[in-house]
């Protein structure tokens, strides 16, 4: 635990609407910011295989001037530029993201592109986080003023509560990070009635992504009492309500509780360093197109095992939050119980637990490891990562 001294960053999110039919407050929220020509950014499935876009538009009170649904998983630069071009064409005065992490990060990226006049893929380079292992970091600030963003979530990855975006450079096959408070949504909507069309594998696996937020926050090299409390409560809520959602997909209360637990999993996360599960996961997505939720399913347990001698009794905290710790356990047994509880939850939810199950093969490991070493969260992993070989060894354990 680091000495308690410093500055704690809170994000400029004004309101969070939650519960069944909370989307009915969308028009009033847009009115509060003087929005009249919003661009709705969503996914192709939501736009073409459900009527939910019509539902959102109806609740927006005529304030949506266009819909962009050609988002690309892991947010390729080209897709962002196409969305930004449409936003310019309708003179958009706000962005509404509707869906999971892909529409949400695309929305943030469009804010960046509009604010900074980005019209070519290479222009993103100027604003991406630049990192050289082990401790050289440059976070370029936005220079313009972003239009407001509103986020409507249909998954549990909770990216709508962060101020950073991952954007993939299709040429390098690397996901780069962009950070600025202006990328945070102004208002967020967590309406479980809009999540019923979300495929169960996606709902549950993005829930495991939020479990990963909790675990890496608790075990962070810069852990903080605020995030400890949030992560413990969120972890308990996710453990209970993901299983409840699997048992009864129509349980709106369980969905709302899972949504709120996912929100809590990232509260204050800007203040603590994450680790290898996230760092490798970013690149599994960019290089191998593995969905973010699945990257956490396959990397969490092996990463916890890799770190077990460097996190004190924090894996025991995981066991406690997940109801896996008994009074007679010593610290070693409790830590093992925490790691096992994570692996068992993945299996109970019927999600992939190994890299081979998500299409990643050993020949991919060197490139994944090389790219991961350029991700700043790898340097903050609780157990020091000294070389590409360390990452390759971990990938082999996850295979």
For the stretch 113-157, pLDDT in tens is 999 999 999 999 999 999 988 889 999 999 999 999 999 999 999
How far is residue 280's CA from residue 302's CA, in Å, rounded to a whole number?
12
- Dihedral, CA of residue 216, residue 217, residue 220 and residue 226, to nearest 10: -170
Chain mean pLDDT for the chain: 97
- Can you tell me the mean pLDDT for 217-236? 97
Per the CB < 8 A criterion, the answer to whether 40 and 53 are in contact is yes
Question: Please, where are the H alpha helices in 175-323?
Answer: 200-218, 225-247, 252-266, 276-288, 292-307, 314-321
For the stretch 6-31, pLDDT in tens is 999 999 999 999 999 999 999 999 99
**What is the phi/psi pair of residue 185, to 5°?**
-65, 150
For the stretch 296-330, pLDDT in tens is 999 999 999 999 999 999 999 999 999 999 999 99
Q: Is the pTM of this model over 0.85?
A: yes
Query: According to the model, what pLDDT value does residue 334 have?
Result: 98
């Amino acid at each position: 635990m680091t000495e308690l001294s410093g500055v704690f960053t809170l994000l400029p999110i004004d309101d969070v609407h939650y519960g069944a039919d909370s989307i009915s407050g969308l028009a009033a929220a847009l009115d509060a910011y003087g929005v009249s020509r919003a661009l709705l950014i969503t996914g192709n499935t939501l736009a073409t295989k459900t009527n939910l876009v019509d539902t959102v538009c109806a609740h927006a009170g005529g304030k949506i001037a266009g819909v962009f649904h050609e988002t690309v998983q892991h947010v390729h630069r080209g897709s962002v530029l196409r969305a930004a071009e449409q936003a310019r064409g309708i003179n958009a005065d706000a962005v509404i993201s509707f869906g999971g992490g892909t529409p949400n990060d695309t929305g943030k990226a469009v804010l960046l592109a509009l604010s900074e006049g980005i019209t070519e893929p290479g222009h993103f380079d100027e604003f991406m986080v630049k990192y050289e292992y082990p401790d050289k970091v440059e976070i370029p600030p936005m220079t313009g003023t972003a239009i407001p963003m509103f986020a409507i979530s249909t998954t549990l990855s909770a990216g709508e509560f962060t101020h950073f975006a991952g954007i993939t450079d299709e040429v390098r096959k690397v996901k780069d990070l962009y950070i600025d408070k202006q990328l945070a949504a102004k208002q967020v909507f967590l309406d479980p009635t809009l999540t019923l069309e979300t495929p169960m594998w996606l709902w549950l696996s993005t829930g495991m992504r939020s479990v990963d937020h909790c675990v890496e926050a608790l075990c962070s090299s810069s852990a903080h009492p605020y995030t400890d409390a949030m992560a413990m409560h969120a972890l308990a809520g996710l453990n209970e309500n993901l299983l409840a959602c699997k048992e009864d997909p129509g349980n709106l209360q369980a969905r709302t509780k899972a949504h709120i637990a996912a929100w809590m999993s990232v509260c204050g996360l800007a203040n603590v360093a994450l680790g290898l599960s996230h760092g490798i996961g970013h690149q599994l997505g960019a290089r191998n197109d593995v969905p973010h939720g699945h990257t956490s399913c396959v990397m969490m347990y092996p990463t916890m095992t890799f770190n077990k001698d460097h996190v004190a009794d924090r894996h025991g905290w995981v066991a406690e939050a997940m109801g896996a710790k008994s009074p007679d356990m010593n610290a070693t047994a409790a830590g093992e119980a925490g790691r096992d509880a994570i692996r068992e939850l993945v299996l109970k939810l019927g999600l992939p637990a190994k890299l081979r199950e998500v299409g990643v093969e050993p020949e991919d490991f060197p490139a994944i490891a090389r790219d991961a070493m350029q991700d700043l969260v790898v340097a903050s992993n609780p157990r020091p990562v000294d070389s590409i070989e360390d990452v390759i060894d971990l990938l082999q354990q996850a295979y």
